Structure 1
Amino acid sequence: MYKITEKLFNWCYKLLMGLDFNETIASYASLVVNIVILSVISYFLYMVFRFVLVTIMVIVAKKTKTKFDDLLVSNQTAKYISHLIPLMFIYKSVPIILKHFVYWEGIFGRLIAVYIILLVLWIIRSILNALRDHLKNIPEYSDKPIDSYVQVIMITLWILGIVVIVAKIFDINTDTLVKTLGAVSAVLILIFRDTILGFVASVQVSVNDMVRIGDWITMDKFGADGDVIEINLATVKVRNFDNTTTTIPTYSLISDSFRNWRGMINSDGRRIKRHVLIKAKSIRFINEDELEDFKKIHLIRTYIEKKQGDINKHNALNQVDKTISINGRNLTNFGLFRKYLTKYLENYPGLNKDMMLLCRHLQPTAQGIPLEVYAFSNDKRFENYEYIMSDIFDHILASVEFFDLEIFEMPSSKNAVSEA
């Protein structure tokens, strides 16, 4: 095809040269004719290859089960490739058309070469975007930061492309240009600081599997509390539970502390760790007569009978004077209440009995004795988890009075007036 085109150009040139024009006018006239012919041929090649490539790709996409080729069509990969073929034809034809115009040959040759380089980058980008969209539809990769990988690859390719373009435009040796860029690397690092930090952070986040798309993370510094919806080179987007969106710099994930709830979601239960404050003044020993009333509470009847027998045996063996309740071993209302709550939690259907389950009191405070429930709910969904925890503490608050205990609360102005 090149030989035919060259003969056609030479024929047009000789035809014009045979006319009664001077040499300069004939040269420019032949140049115009050649450019017109080249444009027509290039446009024809573009339309033919575009029709062929797009048609073939659409037919293949419809007949195959994979969605990757459909994504290639939607990202216009065939359209970019169809541009490349006529450009290569023009690049090869420029020396023929401009053989008498050396200066313009160099300029147009470089411009077309630059356009070819940019077009190759666009083709690669469209393929990578199609690959990104395809991987996001695969469950194994849906939670991976695919956007970051694509951005890193494209930044690397753009840097290489810019180096080649600059070397092509100014006719500089690539090695010399790379050495020059190395000399100004400090300036480049300063300008692209956030991009470089984001790149390093993306690599570390990916390698260490710190965050995935879909993870619930909490980062108080940025007010983030929700699900990760996007991870790219510069930012991580979090959709908070109030439907707002928080944007976090990617490098902040490795420089600052944050909480990832993935471990809890993948575990067998979600932890319940909450306490109520019991007035220390309401805690006391229980005498023998009161124990009969406490035995009416079904969950601790067996425990009281066994414990009462052990205590009576111990006190009798040691001849303890029980006229004063502090002597010997005794049961307390607080101890019975803790045992009751433990039994209640063991029988509660919403808790995982294979994980830790206990009821304990913590270090005494100025507001009273913290009585803490430490257990794990079976259901980890937010609304069900909150219901289970509220149901448990509703029962705790309502059952305190049966053990002659009191919950601490700050006195209100109304209580202060009534006491006065």
Structure 2
Amino acid sequence: MDSLTRIFEQQPVWAQSLIGLIALGLAALAVNFVLKKIILRAAAPYLDRDSDRIDRAAAWLATVAPLLVISYGIEHVPHLYDVVHDTIANVAQALIVLSVAMAIVRALGYANEVYERQPQSRNRPIKGYVQLVKIIVLCGAAVILISVLIDESPFLLLSGLGAITAVLLLVFKDTILSLVASVQLTSNDMLRVGDWITMPSMEADGDVIDISLHTIKVQNFDKTITTIPTHRLVSDAFQNWRGMADSGGRRIKRALTIDQNSIRFLDDEEVVELKKFKMLKDYLAAKRDEIARWNAEELSGEDAPVNARRLTNIGTLRAYIIAYLQWHPRLKGEGFTLMVRQLPPGAHGLPIEVYCFTDTTSWLEYESIQADIFDHLLAILGEFDLRLFQEPTGLDLARGLGVRGSAGA
């Protein structure tokens, strides 16, 4: 050992400093390797496997040890200039502050994640409070980090900042708003690159292609680019279609407007004729039995048909549409709403709304499936002696008046 010391002391000053720095770096790397590659891996089976947040928190905390080695070991490296010694020590201490702050932030995120697994978290979420604590921790860490780098008291830094707070708020108003909005968008997972969003107030309808501090870029479906200030996505309403894409199904919500003058009861011959529809056989049989039992119980001794329950062409159409949608191979079934409902009748007829989900979110396939469904429904209306409502055109008026035009010739 003495011989190694003598050899070391015989080296030039710059070589002694270089050897000391290399030895310090190797010591820090050795400590880092032992903690992260041996101790943390050995402890991994005992950590929560349902989340990687606790692993990240432990990794950040383990980073403190090699930084402490550098911070305190730099004093033992010989012949270093004071400025080099102080710079390395200050940077190491600043990184220690950063590592501890990030470990606390990750631990807070893990605590919130564990809480969200509990049933009561649905009614009493703590995510907002956790985010507030994270902001306080990061702001405090930033103040301490800067004070360590400039080798001044953090209280002195805070007193200096207090004097220019009003000016900073005025000059960096948009930046502060955007920063807060970015934190909210990211922490709440409100927006990701690739999401399809619609925001009518900004005339945006397309995919998010870039998220930065101040702006969000949206490529509309007509290939134009809309640039939205980040804070507007928090202050204004927008619609994110990611949930639809993740579900694998896209909603069809469209109505057929039926001419109310074509709605009527079905007679027995028409019911027999409609039994030819395979999709209506079970419905007609069950409905006729139900109506017959009701009429027998409620109308015993009466023969006025106006008091009896009867099948209608509009009700039978609804039953047919439901059966057709349930049969359709490109519509979602279990877990997705499928219904046919009447909307309030109005001056433009009686709307019969189809509400279901396709088994794809592709725009082209979705439109093709929707068109096929309504092609069929429009064509089948005549079988139920129903008509679509359509406002009269000039040709309709001409035909009503017996005028022959070029279109009718």
TM range (shorter): 0.5 to 0.7
Which deviations, in whole Å up to 9, do the C-alpha atoms of 1:83-118 show, x marking residues without a partner?
xxxxxxxxx79xxxxxxxxxxxxxxx9xxxxxx9xx
Match of 1:296 among 267, 276, 286: 276
- TM-score for both structures, normalised by structure 2: 0.59
| Structure 2 letter corresponding to 1:197 | L
Determine if the alignment matches structure 1 residue 401 to structure 2 residue 394: no
Which deviations, in whole Å up to 9, do the C-alpha atoms of 1:100-157 show, x marking residues without a partner?
xxxxxxxxx9xxxxxx9xxx9xxx9xxxxxxxxxxxxxxxxxxxxxxxxxxxx9xx99
1:242 match: 222
Match of 1:392 among 373, 388, 399: 373
- Distance of 2:383 and 2:281 partners within structure 1: 14
Determine if the alignment matches structure 1 residue 276 to structure 2 residue 284: no
Unaligned runs of 5+ in 2: 1-10, 15-80, 96-137, 402-409
Question: 3-state SS of the aligned residue for 1:326?
Answer: helix
Determine if the alignment matches structure 1 residue 347 to structure 2 residue 347: no
2:204 match: 224
Percent identity of equivalent pairs: 44
| Structure 1 letter corresponding to 2:207 | D
How much does 1:340 deviate?
0.6
How much does 1:227 deviate?
1.2
Paired residues in the alignment total 273
Query: How do residues 148-187 of structure 1 correspond to structure 2 at under 5 angstroms?
Result: 179-187=159-167
- CA change 1:415–1:210 in 2 (3 A) is same
- Is the CA contact (8 Å cut-off) linking 1:320 and 1:328 kept in structure 2? no
- Distance of 2:301 and 2:254 partners within structure 1: 39
2:239 match: 259
1:363 match: 344
Question: 3-state SS of the aligned residue for 1:410?
Answer: coil
How much does 1:311 deviate?
2.3
- Distance of 2:178 and 2:167 partners within structure 1: 18
How much does 1:310 deviate?
3.1
Which deviations, in whole Å up to 9, do the C-alpha atoms of 1:226-279 show, x marking residues without a partner?
111111110111111111111111111111101011111111422111111111
Which deviations, in whole Å up to 9, do the C-alpha atoms of 1:268-317 show, x marking residues without a partner?
42211111111111110111122122122221123213322332343344
- Distance of 1:325 and 1:283 partners within structure 2: 18
Query: How do residues 59-138 of structure 1 correspond to structure 2 at under 5 angstroms?
Result: none
| Structure 2 letter corresponding to 1:393 | F
How much does 1:319 deviate?
3.3
- Distance of 1:269 and 1:254 partners within structure 2: 27
1:195 match: 175
- Distance of 1:176 and 1:326 partners within structure 2: 92
2:356 match: 375
Which deviations, in whole Å up to 9, do the C-alpha atoms of 1:197-224 show, x marking residues without a partner?
0000011111111111111111111111
1:28 match: none
| Structure 1 letter corresponding to 2:362 | R
How much does 1:176 deviate?
5.9
- Is the CA contact (8 Å cut-off) linking 1:201 and 1:250 kept in structure 2? yes
| Structure 2 letter corresponding to 1:227 | D
Determine if the alignment matches structure 1 residue 319 to structure 2 residue 319: no
| Structure 2 letter corresponding to 1:209 | D
- Distance of 1:210 and 1:241 partners within structure 2: 21
Max Rg structure: 1
- Distance of 1:235 and 1:262 partners within structure 2: 20
- TM-score for both structures, normalised by structure 1: 0.58
How much does 1:177 deviate?
6.8
1:80 match: none
- Is the CA contact (8 Å cut-off) linking 1:284 and 1:332 kept in structure 2? yes
- CA change 1:305–1:174 in 2 (3 A) is closer
How much does 1:321 deviate?
4.9
- Distance of 1:272 and 1:242 partners within structure 2: 22
- CA change 1:182–1:340 in 2 (3 A) is same
Note the aligned Cα RMSD (angstroms): 3.4
